[in-house]
Amino acid sequence: MKRWIGGTVVGLAGAGLLALLASQQGGAAAGAEAVPKHMITYVDWGRSDRDWGLPGVDPHQVAPWATWVMAKPRDASAVAAAGMKTMFYSNPNRVAPKDAMYKDDDSMFAHDCSNQRIRVLKQGSQKDLTDPSSPSLLAQWKAFNQQNLSGGHFDAVYDDTASSTNSLSSMPCHFDSATWEQSHARLLSQLGIPVIFNGLGDGDLVRNGRGRDATYGLSPAIALSAPSNVLGGSFEDCYVTGSSTKSQDQKTFGSYWQQTENTQLAMAKRGKLFMCEEMPGNGNMDDLIDPRTYAEASLLLTYDPATTMVHQAMQTNSGVKLGPEVGLVAMDPISATPSSIDSLRTSGGAYAREYRACYVNGASVGPCAAVVNSDERASAPFPLSGYRRTLVIKGSGVLDGGTISLNGPPPPSTLSAVTGVVAFK
């Protein structure tokens, strides 16, 4: 694995890689014994092409909770100095004439079989789909990146809507999914700096049908994780979503939920960050306790301390969108890491995984377990014994008075549809 710092690429292996992974989580580098103070997290501080951020927030207040920050160049160095890793926003895949990466060069864009540029069909969008194999696109993206890198300290670039074919006027001529993904992977590898891409949870994951009964499979965009300079990928609508076709009370269910878990497992197997984007649509964090609890339990089922990363796109007064539940870290699972979420399904229908050692903000709290009933139509029995307490989340974010308690009531004997529980002995 390679890491880019201030324009220099350095190799990381063995103990060096363990140290980087531990530092990503706010824990000490102690190999398998490292205890993270919180899950790997990221927050938005501002995007390089958008005029918003966190005015009045001291980076040192956020550093105990945030591992990564998306920042503008003007903020990046101060954020990095406080101890957080930084990335800047880019979207070379869909550009409009007003965008910094735009160039009126037809070779930069994808075309349909009538040789027309392909438009992005979103309200108010003037964007066209680019061609990932275009040398002109690579040159424009590199120039854009260099402009940002010269303005502040960054550890990676964020690549939005990578390889997405969602919401388009037509498909590229003679489109082939494998070829398209391979072209995007080559584009990332040619960039020469670390990348985190967005596209693992793209809207085109459906294999069969549409709507609530659709069958979902792994996104083809997982192929973009192959280049050595790719640190990981982002999965939107991760366990929490505003989409009514994928959720019940903003909690994902069924095949889509299973696909999310399997993507989390697949990225961990590759040693790449799985950025879980909890996206309930509009909502204040303190009004979303049930979805947050469900997401926490779902994350812990396939949790990997070195690769599981969380971003909670929920409103807080401070603008720091991280709830105190990110401080709950589960270690030393009783069962081996499964190859599929199906391996964690119990006879009664719920999914469960137990951990011998759990921690809150680095302090031991003993064994814990995550249990989820992701069925939207039926209840399921709680499948474990010996657990007497449950996780209770209260309030908003970590800088807004939010808290967690491990002394909630005993787990229910029956889990209602689309319910998650984190339990303690």
Q: Is residue 94 classed exposed, middle or buried when 0-12, 13-18 and 19+ CB atoms within 10 A define those classes?
A: buried
154-163, 194-203, 269-278: lowest mean pLDDT where?
Answer: 194-203
Residue 398 has pLDDT above 50, yes or no: yes
The whole-number pLDDT of residue 212 equals 80
Residue 69 has pLDDT above 70, yes or no: yes
Query: Phi and psi dihedrals of 62, rounded to 5?
Result: -85, -30
Return d(Cα 15, Cα 29) in angstroms, integer: 8
Q: How confident is the model at residue 1 (pLDDT cuts 50, 70, 90)?
A: very low
Domains located in the chain, CATH noted? 2-235 (3.20.20)
Mean pLDDT of all residues in 9-18: 32
> What percent of the chain is predicted at pLDDT more than 70?
89
Say if CB 366 and CB 384 are below 8 A apart: no
The whole-number pLDDT of residue 98 equals 93
Return d(Cα 384, Cα 185) in angstroms, integer: 43
Mean pLDDT of all residues in 342-360: 98
Residue 14 has pLDDT above 80, yes or no: no
Mean pLDDT of all residues in 129-133: 98
Mean pLDDT of all residues in 315-336: 96
The whole-number pLDDT of residue 55 equals 73
Q: Alpha helix (H) ranges present in 206-348?
A: 254-269, 289-301
Residue 32 has pLDDT above 90, yes or no: no
Return d(Cα 149, Cα 414) in angstroms, integer: 53
162-166, 306-310, 416-420: lowest mean pLDDT where?
Answer: 162-166
Q: What is the pLDDT of residues 71-106, one digit of tens each?
A: 999 899 999 999 999 999 999 999 999 999 999 999
Q: What is the pLDDT of residues 239-281, one digit of tens each?
A: 999 988 889 999 999 999 999 999 999 999 999 999 999 999 8
The whole-number pLDDT of residue 189 equals 98
Q: How confident is the model at residue 47 (pLDDT cuts 50, 70, 90)?
A: confident
Q: How does DSSP classify residue 318?
A: S
Say if CB 153 and CB 106 are below 8 A apart: no
Q: How confident is the model at residue 207 (pLDDT cuts 50, 70, 90)?
A: low
The whole-number pLDDT of residue 213 equals 82
